[in-house]
Amino acid sequence: MAKIKLATLSDIPEGGMIERSHEGRAVLLARIDGEVFAMDNICNHMGACLHEGEVGREGKYMVTCPWHEAHFDVRTGKVEQDIAWAEDNDAFAVEIDGGDVLVEM
Ligand code: FES
């Protein structure tokens, strides 16, 4: 796996999410308490862009899909519901090097 620079730290607002892409794959970057997390940005239920949803509403690390409210743990990409209509997404390791956000993909 390679570490790909997808953003600089200042691109991601604290408590917010942005989208970046690498080789056609949309990646969500979220910043929570100064820490950056990365996972697939496309909800595998019906294709919503997860960065347009909410982070923190259902728990500190939970991203809520804007269309039908599946909840993904941004640390793992896993759906956190008993009866889930979406499946787990992939999450990626993140390293901060200076101000660069490097994502292992
Ligand atoms: S598109 Fe995300 S829950 Fe339906």
Q: What CATH number does the domain containing 21 carry?
A: 2.102.10.10
Residues 70 and 102: their CA atoms lie apart, in Å, by 27
Give the pLDDT confidence score for residue 29 in this predicted structure. Answer: 98
Q: What tens digit of pLDDT does each residue of 4-33 get?
A: 999 999 999 999 999 999 999 999 999 999
Looking from the CA of residue 48, the nearest atom of ligand 1 is 1
Residue with token string 């941004």: 74
What DSSP state is assigned to residue 51?
A: G
The span from the CA of 103 to the CA of 12, in Å, is 14
Report the nearest-CA residue for atom 3 of ligand 1. Answer: 68
- In the predicted model, what is the mean pLDDT of residues 70-96? 95
63 lines ligand 1 (CB under 6 A): no
Please give the angle made by the CA atoms of 90, 31 and 93, to the nearest 5 degrees. Answer: 35
Cα–Cα distance measured from residue 79 to residue 40, given in angstroms and rounded to the nearest whole number: 12
70 Cβ closer than 6 Å to some ligand 1 atom: yes
> Distance, CA 98 to ligand 1 centroid (Å)?
35
Specify the number of domains making up the chain. Answer: 1
Stated pTM of the model: 0.96
Given a cut of 90, is residue 83 above it in pLDDT?
Answer: no
* pLDDT on residue 36: 98
pLDDT at 45: 96
Owning domain of residue 41:
3-104
